[in-house]
Structure 1
Amino acid sequence: MESPEAVNASLDARYGRTPNRRVRDRRILWIVAGAFALVLGSWVIWAGLDGTKPLIEARDTAHSIIDEHSVSVTFEVSMPTGTAASCAVEALNENFTIVGWKVVDLPPSDRYTRSVTEIVRTTELSNTGLIYRCWLT
């Protein structure tokens, strides 16, 4: 009859519970954790700390319904000085359907933020007028 230690050692070897296996498992765990930390750190630096900001920002400030076929839209545009841009202005009816659309070209300026008012012609009575989006040209 075998001793209990010999039986335990035999079972441990059979089911992979040897001291060498534990050391190998620990090494694998540290390598995986290190790779994860490296990938996470790289992503944080690339996505979060690169310091880039949008080059152009636009926001609605006012709108006024002039008549059944036109609306006045006032908006602010912030963009780098000396650059030109274009903005799409839209008019919507009460069902949020686009009833008027106009692309406005903004020439270069020495001011970072400027206010622009445009009149958009509509196909029917609009409920609101707003800026759709702006882009550098």
Structure 2
Amino acid sequence: MGHGVPSQLTDLRSRVAHGERELPWDQDNHPGSPELSDQHHAPAGGTARGTSTVLDGRTSLDDRYGRSADTRRRGKLLAVVIAVAIAVVFAVWVIWAGPGQTTHGLDTDDVGYEVLSDHSVVVHTQVAVDPGTSVQCAVQALDKSYTIVGWRVVTLPAEEQRDRSISTQVNTTTRAVTGLIHSCWVP
């Protein structure tokens, strides 16, 4: 047992003399570890482990997993393209939904309807809009299968009051079972 210790010290002195900075107790030398395997299978030329071995290890890992300078450049380019696309989509959304697209406080409520005959229905609606704003509304009549059987666009002129009650007569192709506002907009 004491016979192996002087040879280990000689080995350590030799390593330090060759400029090797890694000492055996700095390594994780358990069975099967690369460091232990490298020590037992060192090339006959006696090259010391150093920077070139680490770089070769990185290179072989890069080769194994398909990493290269080209793939890194492509990844950076892809990230820049995605960032620019997101910025463009955001800018378009801001322009589309910007302050110029106001609703003028437009709000509608269906109050009710009256079926007058097989070919006519009256739709009662409450419309609220900023004073001085004209509005157009599409009023529709539906049959029992929810098919549109009548349609009419009504223009409400600008007035000084905010709330307006309107009744719109809609002609139908068959008997309607309901009538309501489809949509309103500021022209």
**For this structure pair, what is the TM-score category when the shorter chain's length is used for normalisation?**
0.5 to 0.7
Matched, 1:130 2:180: yes
Is the partner of 2:58 in helix, strand or coil? helix
Does the residue aligned with 1:109 lie in a helix, a strand or coil? coil
Number of residues paired by the alignment?
121
Question: What is the match of residue 10 of structure 2?
Answer: none
C-alpha contact 2:114 2:122 (8 A) present in aligned 1: yes
For residue 58 of structure 1, report the CA deviation from its aligned partner: 2.6
Q: Are 1:9 and 2:55 counterparts? A: yes
- Partner SS, residue 54 of structure 2: helix
Q: Which amino acid aligns with 1:58?
A: T
Gaps of 5+ in 1: none
1:46 maps to which residue? 94
From 156, 159, 163, the equivalent of 1:106 is 156
Of all paired residues, the percent bearing the same amino acid is 30
Q: Distance in 1 between matches of 2:153 and 2:124?
A: 14
Change (3 A) 1:97 1:13: closer
Structure 2 gaps, min length 5: 1-45, 63-68
- Which structure has more strand as a fraction of its residues? 1
In 2, Cα distance between equivalents of 1:96 and 1:90: 11
Query: Could you give the per-residue CA deviations for residues 58-115 of structure 1, whole angstroms, max 9, x where no partner exists?
Result: 3322112222222121112222211212212111111222222222121111122322
1:75-90 to structure 2, matched below 5 A, reads: 75-90=125-140
Higher helix share: 2
The 5-angstrom pairing of residues 4-43 of structure 1 reads 4-5=49-50, 6-12=52-58, 39=87
Q: Distance in 2 between matches of 1:39 and 1:72?
A: 49
**How big is the shift at 1:126?**
0.6
Q: Between Structure 1 and Structure 2, whose CA radius of gyration is higher?
A: 2
CA distance in 1, matches of 2:59, 2:116: 88
Question: Cα–Cα, structure 1 residues 72 and 80, in superposed 2: closer, same or farther, change >3 Å?
Answer: same
- Work out which of the residue numbers 123, 127, 145 in structure 2 matches 1:73: 123
